[in-house]
Homo-oligomer: A and B are copies of this chain.
Amino acid sequence: MAGITTERIIALHAAYIRCIDRNELESWPDFFLDPCLYVVTSAENHRAGFEGGMIYADTRGMLTDRVMSLRDANVYENQSYRHIVGLPYVIRNGGEGTETETPFMVMRIMHDGKTDVFATGVYLDVVRAAGADLKFKKRVVVCDSSRIDTLLALPL
């Protein structure tokens, strides 16, 4: 596979967070290949070499199940979220996929307008072209904070 341009990687990140922040979660699994690897973990666990995480999915179906359970829990009723993604760092481009690291921050906006920092961290991604699109073969979301309870409320 030839290398992927930064422009296309930027477009993928922008589309991904737009999907989540517009609360179009049903489309979120489409950003992944099937099978895939989607893990949410903490920096502490990641440094310690733990492969698992607070959230672990390795098929698109598991991602879809997750969306359904979030819908059941109505987590979006009283708050909204805003992702800001930083500039992607390309570790490796071409061959089996393009590997990137990209910092992110998520703000949470409560119903009364109060806004706080919900999460910060870094996306460790492996991206591949699938037809005209790019998709995630692997997305490991490493959250800086270990307060895990709040991190379970939405896709990151």
Contacts and interface: CB of A to CB of B under 8 A. Distances in A.
Interface in A111-136: 112-117, 120-122
Interface residues on chain A, size class = 35 or more
A18 B18 CA distance: 24
A83 B85 CA distance: 11
Interface of A: 5-7, 10-11, 13-15, 17-18, 21, 43, 80, 82-90, 101-105, 107, 109, 112-117, 120-122, 144-147
Give me the 7 closest cross-chain CB pairs, A-B, nearest first.
A113-B147, A14-B89, A113-B145, A109-B144, A82-B120, A14-B87, A84-B86
Given A14-B87, A80-B144, A114-B145, 20 more contacts: A10-B87, A11-B87, A11-B89, A14-B88, A14-B89, A17-B103, A18-B89, A18-B103, A21-B103, A43-B80, A82-B103, A82-B122, A84-B84, A84-B103, A107-B117, A107-B120, A109-B144, A113-B146, A115-B120, A117-B117
